[in-house]
Amino acid sequence: MEYAVRGPLVIRASEIEKELQEGVKKPFKEVIKANIGDCHAMGQVPITFIRQVLALVAYPELMDDPRFPSDVKSRARDILDGCKGGSVGSYSDSPGIELIRRHVAQYIEKRDGIHSNFSDVILCAGASEGIKSILKMLIKDIDGKRPGVMIPIPQYPLYSAALAEFNMEQIGYYLNEEQHWALDICELERAITEAKKICSPRAIVIINPGNPTGQVLTRKNIEDIIKFAHKEKLFIFADEVYQDNVYAEGSKFYSFKKVLSEMGLPYSAMELASFMSCSKGYMGECGLRGGYSEVINMDPDVKAMLFKSISAMLCPTVLGQTVMDCIANPPQPGEPSYEKYKEEKSAVLKSLAERAKMVADTFNSIEGMSCNPVQGAMYAFPQMKLPQKAIEKAKSLGQCPSVFYAFQLLENTGICIVPGAGFGQKPGTYHFRTTILPQPAKLKSMLQTLKDFHIKFMQEYK
């Protein structure tokens, strides 16, 4: 089981931070952790409305404080009314507080224009927990073969780690880098045909917008994927945690639920689980661990088992549920918090869009490096054309060349990225993932440092 986003490179980065604190001389003054999508760690300011509601539910004595707007107080009172004993320190129902689940269903309905039933909504401690809870439902050998799950390559390593943990087969399908990381149906056919020799394919994972690749799927692409999943009888996992993070002109987020429903029968009757998180988007509340799953068309007996399974984990954090309520039920026009909320949300997304362009443009200006446009999400995944001498040096150390490059970058500049090997990449290609999250001035400086390092690295190993 491996999880590259917090793997050996990040452990070494933390060691370097301690060395710097102890006065050890380095060619840099700080470690920049561009390895993980942790918005607030990179300087993003929390959304005022969310933090005000959190303050009131955690310390209700503040309800009389005139600094808190009336809509914040009403949201907090509603949430506390849904808590046993009127305290967020109490357990909630295992799938979450009913009021918040109803608000999430209304949020989905407004987003898609399609009915959402709150009983299909399960609140969870971040999308990761929701994904693993439903993935566990598929653990069963069929005809003597292990269950298999199709995941994109490159992928977010939660999936490969969870499949290893659950002893399930990973069925990798390559995204098409030459076509802006599009999903090619022929590649899905190739992957599943090979996989059927050794496992029983049961599900397909789609990450849209993409992580680490930053692509946004077209509606046509989504329709083709749904048709493929129906033909192969696959359960669909729609990882849609970056649905607010769409930047490129001409790109638009379509939920799998919306497309599947509008395609009509037989597709609208397919089993689907979609996932959302409060860790990404414009909120970036990673540490509060809030998220939801919406599960539609699941067999009632299986759904009962799912709810029994999550009851064993008691309940997700109620503060995380509170953040999800703020996202699903934000200030409305005319309410006192609306203008400030709208301004803060727009500012975050506008700045991310500018940084997405800055990152891709910089990488494309570096000789021996290429990067697709960052259409969405929070990452770039550039490809490097490494010299043969560097490849041989890496192999002599027992490392993938992308890992070797990432360690050299960290030791020489303090910049911590994640090597492409941690996400999967086509044989013979080398990548890395970096976030676009450092604040603009720091990001500009980081990119220049990375550019200088790359030029020097290429000269050294040419």
Q: Which domains does the chain have, with CATH numbers?
A: 4-30+342-461 (3.90.1150.10), 98-328 (3.40.640.10)
State the pLDDT at residue 1: 64
- What are the distances in angstroms from CA 153 to CA 208, 280, 357, 433? 13, 21, 23, 13
Hey, what are 22's tokens? 């102890």
Hey, what are 343's tokens? 């301004």
pLDDT-flagged residues of the chain (< 70)? 1-6
Q: What is the DSSP letter of 351?
A: H
Q: What is the DSSP letter of 44?
A: P
